[in-house]
Chains A and B, each alone.
Chain A
Amino acid sequence: MNSEFAVILVDSTSHAMRIEKILTMHGLTCKLVPVPRHLSSDCGVCVRVLKQDIEEIKTLIDTHHVIVRSIEVL
Chain B
Amino acid sequence: MSSGISSLETGLIYLDNAATSWPKPPGVAAAMHHFLDQIGANPGRSGHRLSVKAGRIIYETREAVASLFGAPDPLRVVFGMNATDGINLALHGILKPGDHVITSGIEHNAVMRPLHDLETGGVEVTQIPCFVDGSLDPAQVELSIRSNTKLIALNHASNVCGTILLIREVGQMARQKNLFFLVDVAQSAGVLPIDMEKDCIDFLAFTGHKSLYGPMGTGGLVIGKRIEPEALHPLRQGGTGSRSEREIQPEFFPDRYESGTMNAVGLSGLLAALQWLQQQGIDQIRSHEMTLCTRLIEGLLNIPNVTVYGPTEMSRRTATVGFNIQNMEPSTVGLRLDEEFGILCRIGLHCAPSAHRTIGTFPNGCVRFSIGAFNTERDIERALKAVNELAKEAQ
Residues of A within 8 A of B (CB): 11-18, 20-21, 32-35, 40-45, 67
Residues of B contacting A43 in the complex (Cβ-Cβ under 8 angstroms): 45-47, 241, 244
Alpha-carbon distance between A40 and B62 when the two chains are bound, in angstroms: 27
Residues of B within 8 A of A (CB): 43-48, 51-52, 55-56, 58-59, 62-63, 74-75, 240-245, 250, 252, 254-255
- On whether the beta carbons of B252 and A12 are closer than 8 Å, the reply is yes
Residue of A whose beta carbon sits closest to that of B74: A18
- On whether the beta carbons of B255 and A14 are closer than 8 Å, the reply is yes
- On whether the beta carbons of B48 and A13 are closer than 8 Å, the reply is no
On whether A13 and B242 interact (CB within 8 A), knowing A18-B74, A43-B47, the answer reads: yes
* The residue from A18, A35, A45, A67 contacting B52, defined by CB atoms under 8 A apart: A45
Residue of B whose beta carbon sits closest to that of A35: B47
Name the prevailing secondary structure of the A interface residues.
mixed
- On whether the beta carbons of B245 and A14 are closer than 8 Å, the reply is no
- On whether the beta carbons of A67 and B45 are closer than 8 Å, the reply is no
Alpha-carbon distance between A46 and B137 when the two chains are bound, in angstroms: 51
Residue of B whose beta carbon sits closest to that of A46: B47
Task: Find the residue from A11, A21, A32, A44 having the highest chain B CB count within 10 A.
Answer: A44
* The residue from A11, A21, A33, A35 contacting B59, defined by CB atoms under 8 A apart: A21
Residues of B contacting A35 in the complex (Cβ-Cβ under 8 angstroms): 47
Tell me how far the C-beta of A25 lies from the nearest C-beta in chain B, rounded to whole angstroms.
Answer: 12
Residue of A whose beta carbon sits closest to that of B51: A45
- On whether the beta carbons of A42 and B74 are closer than 8 Å, the reply is no
- On whether the beta carbons of A17 and B252 are closer than 8 Å, the reply is no
- On whether the beta carbons of B75 and A15 are closer than 8 Å, the reply is yes
Alpha-carbon distance between A20 and B52 when the two chains are bound, in angstroms: 11
Residues of A contacting B240 in the complex (Cβ-Cβ under 8 angstroms): 12
